[in-house]
Amino acid sequence: MISLTAADGHRLSAYRTGPQNAARALVVVQEIFGVNRHMRNVADRFAAEGYAVIAPALFDRVAPGIELGYEAADVAQGRELRGRIQDGLTVLDILAAAAALPRGVKRGIVGYCWGGTVTWHGATRTSAFGAASCWYGGGIAAAKDEQPRCPVQMHFGETDASIPMSDVDAIRTAQPGVEVHVYAGAGHGFGCDERGSFSAKDAAVAQRRTLEFFGKNL
């Protein structure tokens, strides 16, 4: 764990992993459960592919150091914490993470759940990233008309109860240049191997597509 300082002076922790002499680097953005064991494992998997990685602890704005599990009470707490943090502040935090990556490397951003939406904001509201991969970001539809400043890829589960296919269709219509993948039968959080909604098959395909996307654009 390292410490970052955002542009507004806020200090936050972050998980850093991967080779610091890497040619490519990623900001990995958390779900509503903090930079917990699963998110560290996600970061480590990208590090194993040769990326320098930083996963900023976005909840440090309101609950420093918190890590949640995946029970109903954890979900409720995660949603409550997320609701207390303004979108503009999460942008400052991911920019702090990007600035802490090795200098001179090509930088991408990937996020999951809440982090999928934050990743979209990273693509549309900053120029810090060369590519962005958004996994089941529930808030993307509300910001679908924002214009990305880098190539963007998105992943959605067909049966996601929190992201209806009408939202996905609206995103496709508003953003014809964005690469959108829908996974038949998959629900929300299908990429998290600690949740009941985990789909190993779909997670593997989405991860392969993400790596290919970053390989092409970074």
**Calpha distance 92→137 (Å, rounded):** 19
Phi-psi region of 165 (alpha: psi -120 to 50; beta: other; left: phi over 0): alpha
Contact 184, 155 (CB under 8 A): no
Please state the φ and ψ torsions of residue 210, each to the nearest 5 degrees: -65, -45
Reduced to 3 states (helix: H, G, I; strand: E, B; else coil), residue 6 is: coil
Residue numbers annotated as active site: 113, 160, 188
Q: Which two tokens stand for residue 135?
A: 């996994």
Are the C-beta atoms of residues 101 and 25 closer than 8 Å to each other?
yes
What is the distance of C-alpha 15 from the center of its chain?
A: 14
- Here the tokens at position 170 are 């609206």
Burial of 58 (0-12, 13-18, 19+ CB in 10 A): buried
Name the nearest CA neighbour of 13 among 54, 74, 69, 45. Answer: 54
Structure tokens at 28: 């990995």
Taking each helix axis from N to C terminus, what angle separates 87-100 and 114-125, rounded to the nearest 10 degrees? 80
